[in-house]
Structure formats: structure tokens, C-alpha cells
Structure 1
Amino acid sequence: MEVPTVSLVIPPSNSIPAEPPKIISAKMLAESASLTSAIPSAYYFSEDSYELADPNDPEFQLPAIDFSLLTSDSPDQRSKMLHELANICRDWGCFLVTNHGVTESLKQAMIEAADRFFNLTEEEKHNIAKKYEADPTQIRYGTSYNARSEKVRLWRDFIKLRLHPDFPTLNENDGYSEVAMKYSKKTREIATELVEAISESLGLDPNHIYKALDLDSGVQFLLANYYPPCPQPELAMGLSHHTDQCLITILTDNDVSGLQVLHNHKWVTVTSTPKTFLVILADQMQIVTNGKYKSAMHRGRVNKEAKRISLASLHGPSFETLVTPSPELVEREGKAPLYRSIKYREYVELQHRSRMDLKCALDQILI
């Protein structure tokens, strides 16, 4: 998989601001009195191998799927949408979803709950995560990606909760867990329908991928990202280029744009639109389809004017599931498997190491 080139931005030495005292979060830095017009050099980040797409170029118009037609009882409507879905998954690996049935009030409640969490004190946020430190896959709160070992920090804070099969409680009085449970149930229903439709679009039984990856026991995470306003957004990065490690991601935000997807060697800015989800195919989808459907490369940019809160509902196999290219697809296509079989837990660990080394995990399991 081709990935963007990352380089460090090194301005003249007299323009590099002094490093701040120990900063626990990007939000704390953004709100600190010491931050005026220049960010610390620890946040200088540049990806310069691909240019931005022209938003008026039809080639770079992000495709959309009408979920109500995809799940229609009309065979003709469904057949047409499945054909469109197949082309989109092959060419883009991501698409917008409309008429999905999740109310704006539920989405807004989840955004507001995330905002309340990020407005807690640093001590309160870390104490919540500390309750589950014996199993950090339950809850993880932090800043950047891995601030302890990174050479360059990302302009974001995050909280990641595992919502299925086990559901942790942050604080029984804050309302976060309650609304997260309702939100995750709805997004899980959408993900299940989409995975079934994707199976059908491949000419397979609707339950093929679902059963092959044992998604009944699969993991679901809710990742909330907080990107504070940045005085120098051209120098900083909210979330560097990556593909998701799971099977499928359902994404929304607080109607502040910032996500970009890589398509035909150009970055396409996704315009945030109310009542719409962005669906991103992830690495396990590329593996199980033997490369027929691709995992979409994407990144998060920041801006000067407004905070951005994004919610990513990440759906994947259970950690002990052995993921392999579908034998049915391999036989039908007459192609050899492109990827070796790997347990999902091992892949997650591989991807974590690969991101720290700026490598692509999928490339490392190619046969």
C-alpha cells in the first residue's frame, strides 16, 4: 500500500518557540496562557507527498449510499445499490451514508457527552481511565497517539472505550456511558447491515463475512477525538495518515470539517454534513476480500477557528479470531491469497508497532 511521505518542519532556529512545560493534553496547551501565535516545535508535522484534490472536480466527489434503499424490500432497488456499493468499495474504500435511521438528537447527545468528558480536569479524566488500567483495551485516555515515544506530537486528545462484548462504566453520574450504550447499539446495527450488504456485493452469502470473522463475539470501540483550535494549523496535524485496524468504521463529528481521505493520490476533504455518516473500510476488510475492497487511508487536519470533536465507531473481529482471505473468493477469482492468516490481536499489535515506525501493517503480512 502506498503511503504519504512524512517530513518534519524545521523553521529557522530563531523562529522555533521554546518548548512548554510538561503538557498533559492538547486541550490544556491550546488553552494555556503561554500559547499565543506559535505552537511548540514538538507539534511541527508535515505530510507533503500528495496534494489536495480540487473540491469541484467530479473525480473527487465522495460517493454516497442511501441506507434506506440498500436495506429496501424491493429487489430491484437493493440490486442497484449493491452494484453501486461494489464499485465504491473497490475504488474508494469509503462513502457517505444517508437515511441511516440514527436521530440527530442521539448524535448530538453523544457529541455533548464527549465534550463534557474532555472538559473534566486532567486528574478526573486520568482517574476514570485508571479504573481499568489492568485491561487498557477497556478504556484508554490520552493525547497525540503515543506521546511518550513519539518524536512529533499530534494536536488531539482522545478517549477510546470498548463497548462490545463488555461495556465499561465511566462514571454513573456523568451520563457518558448511558448515551454511549444507546449510540453504540445503533451504530452496531448499521455496521451489521453494511457488512451483510458488502458480502452480497461480492456475490457471497449475506452472512459470509459476519460468520467468517465471528462478529457476534467481535469487538466494538467508540473513539472520541478532541481537536482544539490551533494557531498554526498549517504546521500541526490532528491525526496522521493511517488506515484503521478493524473491519469497518462509522464516523461522525460536530459538523466541523477536518477529515481527509486519500483517493487517486490526492487528499479529498470530507465536508461535514448533518444527518450523514462517513463509512470507512478498514484493514480486516481488505484482508478478508483478498484486496478486492480496499482499506481507506485517511487523516485529520486542524483549524484556527473551532474545536472539532469526532466519533469513530470501530467494528472488528474478536481478538482471538484468525483472519484470512476468504477461501470462496480466492477460489472464484482464481488468485492466490495476498495476505497470510493472522489473529486479530496479533494484527492490532503489529499495526501499533508499524504506526510508531511509520510503516504499513498490511504490507507486512503480504505473502
Structure 2
Amino acid sequence: MSSKSTNPLELGRSLSVPNVQELAQSDQISERYFRPEVDVAPVASIDEDELPVIDLMKLLNPELIDKDELFRLGLACKEWGFFQLINHGIPEEVIEKTKDDIKKFFKLPLKEKEAIKQLPGHIEGYGQIFVHSEEQKLDWADVLILNIQPSQNRDMRFWPTNPTTFRDTLDTYAIKIGKVVDCLYGLMAEDLGVDPQDMLNIFRDQMQSVRINYYPPCKQAKKVLGLSPHSDGIALTVLLQANDVNGLQIKKNDKWLLVKSKPNALIINIGDMMEILTNGKYKSIEHRAIINMEEERLSIATFHLPSIDVLLRPFPELVNSDGELYKTISAKEYTREYFAGKLNGKNALESMKLRK
């Protein structure tokens, strides 16, 4: 982990696109943002199932250890690929400070935000991602993408200095999120019947990055998408909603289900790499972000994956008579292939299947 060649964000490229926050102030919306597929798949009714809620305190406190809660965690990972985590131990003041600094950054003048914009052909910094042609449809969002861990991968040119507390706030938040994720890996190993040391070995040199999202309101919200349907190309994602506007939808039973975020809960989802490592036992799930007509939405997604030199192959305990379901591939090569295409459902993972 000693050189910047281990930086996964250097494996991606993206074209420059207009600033959406500025476009939102205009009545004119480019055709590139209109998404005819938005209303194709049905949306689940408000009475249908809600995302599972897992209580981390019940899983970690020796006086409260609840085997039923571990079963619920496993069920959420296998059948949903998403869950909300409560009682996660991150102090409320850390959560609130993170939300506050994110809001303050996106309120800065465009010129100040663009001082840390992405460089041509790169994805770290302020801009957009997964844009590979001048013709493809665009997401109604601006993003700030940063490497967090290992620390030598940080390119401080892209870390905001305004608000003045932003860097320290993000560092504190990311460290605490990393500790939560480490706990989840151990619990997942227990649920799966995998040797915890094997899980630890996979993620010993864990890599961490963030995508901070700003979704402006749009008068034609039903015609645009904030984030195209996709599964995450990493092992585990932790999402914190930074204001009270919901917009995350997950695909379940061929319907889009709106996630109603609980206050200060963390939304956890399984990524493609974890699906490969568990031989399909845990599922990475297609999800997207919709837009609100009147209000902005902000969130921060923290991504976790093994060192990019790690080979992705199932834990032996999880290979049954059907054998391995996916090709063996390094985290580096999977990341490269994932970044090479536009966001499009689970296409990247589908291409890894040994039997279609």
C-alpha cells in the first residue's frame, strides 16, 4: 500500500459535463437529462415492505447479544442487499457536523467549488462520473469524489478548505464509518459460517472513498434521474442522508421501492465484490436516485473494497456442488471494468458469471 498505483479512482475516466446546480435555476433542461425509462418499471405502493432495520448494539453488546438479530442481518443481506443500521455507535454530533459541512460546501459559489473540479480524464474531485460519450443520458446531480483510505492515496488538492472544518469533519466521520464496517464484516462472517480470520485477511488493507451527492430540485422531476440504476462495484457501501428529502429507490420484485430513511440511521448495501466473495449468497441490488420537484437532496456514500491486488473468489465454505458462480478476478481489474462502462443495472457483475 505504499504507492499511488493502488488508488482505485485512478482506474476511472469521465468526461466533463455542465454543472447541474446551475442548470436547475433555468427553465431550460437539455434533452440529455430526460430519461424515458423513469416510469417504465412500476413503483411499489407505500404499503409494501420497508427496508429491514438492524440494531448494531444488539449484535455487539455482550449483555444484549441477540441471535435473532444476527439471523435478521443475514436475511437482509441475502434477500434485500440493503438494510438500515441503527444504534451504530457514531456520536450524533459527528453525524450532524458531517451533514452541516456537506450542506455548506454545496452552498458555495460555483467558482469556489470548481476550484477543486475533476481534471480531464479523471474522476476524483468535483464534477460527475461514468460519462463516456457526448451522446449518453446524464444524471441530474453534482458530486464530490475523494479518496480516504489508505491515507497516502489522498490527493488534498481536491479536499475542500471551505468550510474550514470540512477536512477534519470528513476524516473523523470516515474513520468511524470504517470501524462500523469492520464490525459488520465480522458479523457477516459469523452469519455465513466463514472463518472470521479469512474475512479479516481479505479486508486487511481496506480501501475507502466517498461520493458526496447533491441532487438539485427539478421542475420536471418525473422526467430525470439523479443517479442511474446500478449496483455498486465495491464490497460494502454506507450511505448517510444529509437532509430530510428521500430519493433512494431499490429494485425488489421488479418494482422500485422508496427507502424512507430513519433519522441518523446508516443505509448499508452489499456491493458486487461481496456478492462474488459470498458466491452469490449475499446480493448486490440495483438501485437509483429520483429527484424532488421542490427540494434539494444531499447524501454521502462511503465505499469499501479490498486492496486492489486482492483476488476476488468465493470463500471455500460457500462453494457447493454447483461450484463457483463467478470468474476469479482481481479487485483492480473489476474496478477497471466497472468504471469503463456507464451505469447500467448489474451489467458489470453479470459479465463475471460463469454460467448465464
Partner Cα separation in structure 1 for residue 160 and residue 257 of structure 2: 38
Q: Take 2:52 and 2:344, find their aligned partners in 1: how far apart are those partners?
A: 32
1:28 correspondence with 2:19:
no
Deviations 1:234-281 (A, max 9, x none): 000000110001101111111210000111111110112212111111
Match of 1:73 in 2: 62
Contact 2:248 2:290 in 1 (8 A): yes
1:191 match: 181
- 1:147 Cα deviation (Å)? 7.0
For residue 8 of structure 2, what is the aligned residue in structure 1? none
Instruction: Tell me, in whole angstroms, the C-alpha distance in 1 between the residues paired with 2:348 and 2:76.
Output: 23
Q: What is residue 232 of structure 1 aligned with on the other side?
A: 220
Matched-pair contact (CA < 8 Å) for 2:236–2:269: yes
Alignment of 1:211-360 (within 5 A): 211=201, 213=202, 215-253=203-241, 254-330=243-319, 333-355=320-342, 360=347
More displaced 10-residue stretch of structure 1: 236-245 or 82-91: 82-91
Matched letter for residue 362 of structure 1: L
Q: Read off the aligned partner of 2:288 and give its amino acid letter.
A: R
The one-letter amino acid of 1:110's match is: T
Determine the structure 2 residue equivalent to 1:12. Answer: none
Measure, in 2, the Cα distance between the counterparts of 1:121 and 1:148: 28
Contact 1:144/1:153, CA 8 A, preserved across alignment: no
Change (3 A) 1:147 1:335: closer
Task: Give the one of 66, 90, 101 matched to 2:78.
Answer: 90
How far apart are the structure 2 equivalents of 1:315 and 1:357? 21
> Which runs of structure 2 are paired with 1:91-110 in the superposition (5 Å)?
91-110=79-98
Offset at residue 311 of structure 1 (A):
0.7
Summarize the Cα distance change of 1:351–1:55 in structure 2 as closer, same or farther, 3 Å threshold: same
Identity of aligned residues (%): 32
TM-score normalised over the length of structure 1: 0.84
Task: Pick closer, same or farther for the CA change 1:135–1:200 going to 2, 3 Å.
Answer: farther
* 1:35-70 superposed Cα distances (whole Å, 9 cap, x missing partner): 23x53222101334421111212xx22111011001
Alpha-carbon offset, residue 353 of structure 1: 2.5
Answer yes or no: is 1:50 the counterpart of 2:35.
no
- SS of structure 2 residue aligned to 1:52: coil
CA distance in 1, matches of 2:244, 2:132: 27
Instruction: Tell me which residue corresponds to 2:141.
Output: 156
Match of 1:142? 127
Amino acid at match of 2:350: D
Distance 1:209 1:70 in 2: 18
When residues 149 and 287 of structure 1 are mapped into structure 2, their CA distance, relative to the original with a 3 A threshold, is: farther
Question: Looking at CA atoms only, which structure, 1 or 2, has the larger radius of gyration?
Answer: 1
> Amino acid of the residue matched to residue 323 of structure 2?
A
Does the 8 Å CA contact 2:59/2:66 hold for their aligned counterparts?
Answer: yes
Deviation string, structure 1 residues 306-353 (Cα, Å, up to 9, x no partner): 1100110111111221111112221xx333100111111111121122
The answer to whether the 8 A contact 1:246-1:314 is kept is yes
CA drift at 1:111: 1.9
- CA drift of 1:288 comes to 0.2
- The equivalent of 1:363 in structure 2 is 350
TM-score (normalised: structure 2): 0.87
Alignment match, 2:193: 203
Q: Is the 8 A contact 1:98 1:277 kept in 2?
A: yes
Residues 66, 98 of structure 1: 8 Å contact kept: yes
1:141/1:159 contact within 8 Å kept? yes
Take 2:189 and 2:36, find their aligned partners in 1: how far apart are those partners? 38
1:157 partner amino acid: D
Letter paired with 1:79: K
Distance apart, 1:172 and its partner CA: 4.7
Q: What is the deviation of 1:134?
A: 10
Q: Which amino acid aligns with 1:56?
A: D
Count matched residues.
332
Residue 39 of structure 1, aligned match among 29, 50, 53: 29
2:169 partner SS: helix
One-letter amino acid of the counterpart of residue 83, structure 2: F
CA distance in 1: counterparts of 2:284 and 2:111, whole angstroms: 37
Q: Which runs of 5+ in 1 are unaligned?
A: 1-21
- 1:161 is matched by which residue type in structure 2? L
Shifted more, 243-252 versus 161-170: the winner is: 161-170
Structure 2 partner of 1:180: 170
Give the 3 Å change call, closer, same or farther, for CA 145–350 of structure 1 in structure 2: closer
Write out per-residue CA displacement over residues 145-203 of structure 1, whole angstroms, 9 at most, x where no aligned residue: 42754521110000111100024432456321110000001111111111111111001
Kept in 2, the 8 Å contact 1:44–1:152? The answer is yes
When the two chains are superposed, the root-mean-square deviation of aligned CA atoms in Å is 2.3
**Helix, strand or coil for the counterpart of 1:319?**
coil
CA distance in 2, matches of 1:250, 1:357: 21
Higher relative contact order (CA 8 A, sep 6+): 2
